[in-house]
């Protein structure tokens, strides 16, 4: 049976939560495959807004199994807060509906301390981390000194590993970062309590997903952030600490590549990004302020204002190539209402030459200038549209331009924050 991946096309914040929430209706299992609680997915069901950080977006549908894959780095204390908040609202009452990979790495208190101290020391050169310990946890994973849920469940193994690692981390905190050392007993006691609460959820997620697919279950994979924040293919070093592209659904979920049947790229009808780094189409004027205001462009996790700009087809084509996108989900189309002219960046100019691809050099990316194509805007509100025929001709022309410039068909169009404010053109599970 099909495995569908939902992936961000831009710098994250594309509305993946809503799209995954809609696709989850057709899935049996929803899997988060990378990132940590530095990302937030905002979902609006009826008049109720929910922000999720580590629990997969399928949680708002009855009976859906939610899996936190091995590619995710998990803050267990924050996860329990999220679980308890959801249970307080009637979700996850059946604890068997949430499963955590035994190979997922743990975010530890020293990871957060190191993350925050480093960012302070960077000053103006800071990269925009949320300070939640995501990067240092991935560092330890690659340095082979990380702690996993499998370790947490074995008390003696965890105690020995924690003592060994904390000695090293405390030396680094004191001598290199000028911070106070952390207490072993306090951390050990805290994680013992977390072990007791989370142990019932921990499984071999890769085996579970493989067997589920073999049994005919439909599986939906959701990532965090977006393609341009991928540690290999994004605007390095202004990126996250994991691979955010569709291929990470295999490594971060524990399934084979040939299991994936469809990849849906989620993109705003314009572009935003949070934090520092290149942004060729950024608008530092009244138009950018309108996009930020009308689009409510503030981070779901941090509340930070997002930088806003026109749709960047160069970035979108980069994402199409890297992810092998089957189709696009275009979100926040309604935010462009009221614009006399809507612009699309179709290429860049660098040193007098036309550039069609995203440059690897951060200096070059900062130096490019967007080459725009202009399209007529529209005044009509779009929130009640439920088919393409309900949209003004100018809007349909804009959507057609996105399809042509990216070489990818549009599967879904979002014209508002609620579930029902969506035009479904193609079900990804039938693509």
Cis omega (within 30 of 0) for bond into 237: yes
Contact 107, 74 (CB under 8 A): yes
Judge whether 53 counts as a catalytic residue: no
φ, ψ of residue 382 to 5 degrees: the values are -115, -5
Please tell me the distance from the alpha carbon of residue 286 to that of residue 101, in angstroms, as a whole number.
Answer: 46
Q: Which is catalytic among the residues 41, 53, 233, 318?
A: 41
Distances (CA, A) of 139 to 6, 143, 144, 334, 396: 26, 6, 9, 40, 45
Judge whether 201 counts as a catalytic residue: no
Contact 348, 368 (CB under 8 A): yes
Write out the catalytic residue numbers. Answer: 13, 41
């Amino acid at each position: 049976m099909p495995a569908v991946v939902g992936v961000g096309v831009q710098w994250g914040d594309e509305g993946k939560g809503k799209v995954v929430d809609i696709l989850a209706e057709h899935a049996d299992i929803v899997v988060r495959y990378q990132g940590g609680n530095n990302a937030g997915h905002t979902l609006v069901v009826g008049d109720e807004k929910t922000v999720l950080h580590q629990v997969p977006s399928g949680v708002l549908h009855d009976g859906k199994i939610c899996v936190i894959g091995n590619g995710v780095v998990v803050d267990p204390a924050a996860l329990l807060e999220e679980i308890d908040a959801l249970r307080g609202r009637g979700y996850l009452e059946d604890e068997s509906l949430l499963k955590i990979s035994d190979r997922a790495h743990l975010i530890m208190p020293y990871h957060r301390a190191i993350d925050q101290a480093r960012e302070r020391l960077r000053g103006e050169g800071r990269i925009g981390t949320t300070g939640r310990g995501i990067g240092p946890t991935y560092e330890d994973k690659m340095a082979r000194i990380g702690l996993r849920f499998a370790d947490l469940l074995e008390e003696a193994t965890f105690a020995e590993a924690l003592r060994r690692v904390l000695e090293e981390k405390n030396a680094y905190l004191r001598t290199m970062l000028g911070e106070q050392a952390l207490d072993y007993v306090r951390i050990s006691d805290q994680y013992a309590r977390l072990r007791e609460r989370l142990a019932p959820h921990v499984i071999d997620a890769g085996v579970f997903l493989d067997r589920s697919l073999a049994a005919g279950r439909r599986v939906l994979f959701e990532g965090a952030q977006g393609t341009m924040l991928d540690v290999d293919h994004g605007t390095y070093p202004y990126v996250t600490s994991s691979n955010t592209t569709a291929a990470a659904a295999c490594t971060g979920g524990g399934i084979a590549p040939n299991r994936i049947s469809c990849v849906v790229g989620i993109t705003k009808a314009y572009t935003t990004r949070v934090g520092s780094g290149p942004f060729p189409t950024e608008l530092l004027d009244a138009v950018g302020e309108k996009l930020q205001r009308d689009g409510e462009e503030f981070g779901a996790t941090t509340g930070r204002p997002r930088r806003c700009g026109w749709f960047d087809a160069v970035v979108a084509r980069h994402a199409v190539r890297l992810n092998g996108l089957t189709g696009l989900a275009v979100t926040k189309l309604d935010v462009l209402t009221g614009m006399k002219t809507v612009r699309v960046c179709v290429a860049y100019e660098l040193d007098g030459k036309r550039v069609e691809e995203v440059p690897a050099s951060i200096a070059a990316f900062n130096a490019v200038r967007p080459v725009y194509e202009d399209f007529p805007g529209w005044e009509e509100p779009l929130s009640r549209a439920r088919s393409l025929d309900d949209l003004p001709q100018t809007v349909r022309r804009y959507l057609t331009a996105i399809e042509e410039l990216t070489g990818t068909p549009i599967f879904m169009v979002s014209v508002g924050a609620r579930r029902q404010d969506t035009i479904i053109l193609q079900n990804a599970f039938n693509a």
